[in-house]
Chain A
Amino acid sequence: MSETAMRIEVFKTYKLYVGGKFPRSESGRVYEVTDTKDQWLANAPLGTRKDTRDAVLAARAAVKGWSGTTAYNRGQVLYRVAEMLQGRREQFTAEVAAAEGLGAKKAAALVDAAIDRWVWYAGWTDKVAQIAGGANPVAGPFFNLSTPEPTGVVGVVAPRTGHGFSLLGLVSVVAPAIATGNTVVVAAAEQAPLPALSLGEVLATSDVPGGVVNLISGRTADIAPTLASHQDVNALDLAGAIDLEGPGAAAALEASAADTLKRVVRPAADPSAVDWTASPGTGRLLSFLETKTVWHPMGI
């Protein structure tokens, strides 16, 4: 037997991404992730309610620093994410192909689109104030200025269906939230969490401060309701809340989010028909903003 044939492959231990670190689940448990043909791919950590709570703490702690950076600086950081992602294109191509059951070529195109999406949102960071704010005309000797400010901690239920959901879809919901200065806790797609968990490694090496993005894999029916009911989460993106009933259903999540007056972005009418490669528009970018208006005397 030749030496190369005897080599045992080194498997990767996928871990959560919380507060800039890569912890195992507090439960110590994992679950099996398969490709679309039920072939085993890897074990992913089974994140729990407590992991989610810890992630919200980390996200809250990161709000002050991240929302306090200049918009220009945030744009640079987001562009840096694109650079890092570009360098690991092969790995993500393989993971997206396995997650969505696509050929290598189509998967590579989706990864390229995800990289471009980071660049697109990187450009928006210092322009969003111009479309969401501005000087208001008032009848008096005052300047009246409205500026958009980040909402705070955003809970994201990552997309679980639609063309390109596993990486491009994830980027399309995470990037707009953090571009404006929010921090996020993401419930990764339950059946296909590997691109999301690997994205954590990209974020950790690309100047994104720890806690700005937190990624939890596990049962959406555990994680999403925890985010929806958590009193320290300010907004909820339900892109991947596709369950028709049970605690993970969009209506149930929206109901418990209402108890604490969260902003909610509802899932698409038919989530499986969403094409994530389509131009995203500014809808999500403008969803997690609060308008601050100041009156300022005009002087002499």
Chain B
Amino acid sequence: MSTLAANAPGAPGGGLADVAASEATLRRFLHGLPGVDQVGLEARAATLGTRSIKTTAKAFAIDLAISMIDLTTLEGADTVGKVRSLCAKGLNPDPTDRTAPQVAAICVYPDMVETAKTALRGSDIQVASVATAFPSGRAGMPVKLADTAEAVAAGADEIDMVIDRGAFLSGRYLEVFEEIRAVKEACRRPDGSSAHLKVIFETGELQTYDNVRRASWLAMIAGADFIKTSTGKVAVNATPPVTLLMLEAVRDFRAATGTQVGVKPAGGIRTTKDAMKYLVMVNETLGDDWLSPHWFRFGASSLLNDLLMQRQKLRTGRYSGPDYVTVD
């Protein structure tokens, strides 16, 4: 591929392929990104969280949020039965109301992909699988790639990989870059199509907003289809400022390269109010282009129940309770 073609907008790597030519160029690029105004970012995220969304707009937001959920179970205690019942819930979230939309995807560990795939046969719901030694990412490359390949072979439509935070924090950016590239390669199926790749940064471990911005660009240049905040396994998960920062990064990346990348906040989003704050942020930062399950997802499990309870409240006028939704 000529340099010209590799740098063209819309090319893989988003026209920034030269950036990753060497460790030095990559570092120069990432450290050359403008610094994050922490106070401004947090104030902006807080302001966007104060919007009042009521009545029909609220009903729209609730249905949109449900359709954006990656319904997740990532426990050591997961069983085939639990994954099946989660799939059933994803297909038909509110048994008392068939108009409730389906979720976007079911997110499981690689060994559960086949179970989920079978349970969801014939539906539009995707099966997402975490991979690459989730959640710590502490394993050798062959293990990570085998983990990914196994999930893809089992039929996963989407792969949620974790980056090596240790390498990133010690400044070995090219290593992280190559890792994402290799996993992206492992997402390829024999028929030439490819599983969607979501790259998890674990922002709670990246220490600074500047690092989150760098990680976002790094992953997007390496070819991520989605960038995702967290695993949900550490103390600090998705927060509004971090998500806003990532939304700004995908906006700037599209402006620079023409490639659109999705965003998935995950972990700690439990209430309808939280979800609506995120949707407001998406709308204000990115606009309609991203307001679809194709470009924005929530990684959540308990959020769905709260959305359903709010939905029942709008429909019946009475406050609902946990007795009227399933126990997960």
A: residues with CB less than 8 A from B are 53, 56, 60, 226, 229-233, 256, 259-260
Contact = CB atoms under 8 A, between A and B. Distances in A.
Contact of B323 (A229, A232, A256, A259): A232
A232 B319 CA distance: 8
B319 A60 contact: no
B322 A232 contact: yes
Interface string B292-328: 0000000000000000000010000111111110000
Nearest to B324: A231
- Classify the secondary structure of A's interface with B: helix
27 contacts: A53-B319, A56-B319, A56-B321, A60-B321, A60-B322, A229-B317, A229-B318, A229-B319, A230-B318, A230-B319, A230-B321, A231-B312, A231-B318, A231-B319, A231-B320, A231-B321, A231-B323, A231-B324, A232-B319, A232-B320, A232-B321, A232-B322, A232-B323, A233-B321, A256-B318, A259-B318, A260-B318
Contacts of A233: 321
Interface residues of B, number: 9
Contacts of A56: 319, 321
Contacts of B320: 231-232
A53 B309 CA distance: 13
Interface string B180-204: 0000000000000000000000000
Contact of A226 (B312, B319, B323): B319
A247 B323 CA distance: 25
Contacts of A259: 318
Interface of B: 312, 317-324
Q: Which 5 interchain pairs have the tightest Cβ spacing? A: A232-B321, A229-B318, A231-B321, A230-B319, A231-B320
A226 B324 CA distance: 17
Contacts of B318: 229-231, 256, 259-260
A158 B323 CA distance: 26
A239 to B, nearest CB: 22
Contacts of A230: 318-319, 321
Nearest to B312: A231
A172 to B, nearest CB: 28
B211 to A, nearest CB: 37
Nearest to A56: B319
Contacts of B324: 231
Most buried by B among A56, A231, A256, A260: A231
Contacts of A226: 319
Nearest to A233: B321
Nearest to B321: A232
Nearest to A52: B319
Contacts of B321: 56, 60, 230-233
A229 B320 CA distance: 9
Contacts of A53: 319
Most buried by A among B318, B322, B323, B324: B318
A268 to B, nearest CB: 27
Nearest to B322: A232
A264 to B, nearest CB: 16
Contacts of A60: 321-322
Given A60-B321, A226-B319, A232-B319, 6 more contacts: A229-B318, A230-B321, A231-B319, A231-B323, A232-B320, A232-B323
A51 B301 CA distance: 26
B324 to A, nearest CB: 6
A255 to B, nearest CB: 13
A62 to B, nearest CB: 14
Contacts of A229: 317-319
A53 B317 CA distance: 13
A231 to B, nearest CB: 4
A60 B324 CA distance: 14
A56 B318 CA distance: 13
B125 to A, nearest CB: 28
Contacts of B317: 229
Contacts of A232: 319-323
A233 B321 CA distance: 8
Contacts of A260: 318
A144 B323 CA distance: 29
A231 B323 CA distance: 8
Most buried by A among B312, B319, B324: B319
A166 B319 CA distance: 29
Contacts of B312: 231
A240 B318 CA distance: 22
A229 B317 CA distance: 9
Contacts of B322: 60, 232
B52 to A, nearest CB: 12
B198 to A, nearest CB: 33
A216 to B, nearest CB: 14
A199 B192 CA distance: 71
A60 B320 CA distance: 12
A77 B250 CA distance: 56
Nearest to A227: B319
A226 B321 CA distance: 13
B271 to A, nearest CB: 11
Contacts of A256: 318
Most buried by A among B312, B317, B321: B321
Nearest to B319: A230
Nearest to A153: B321
B56 to A, nearest CB: 19
A53 B271 CA distance: 14
B326 to A, nearest CB: 15
A262 to B, nearest CB: 12
Nearest to A225: B318
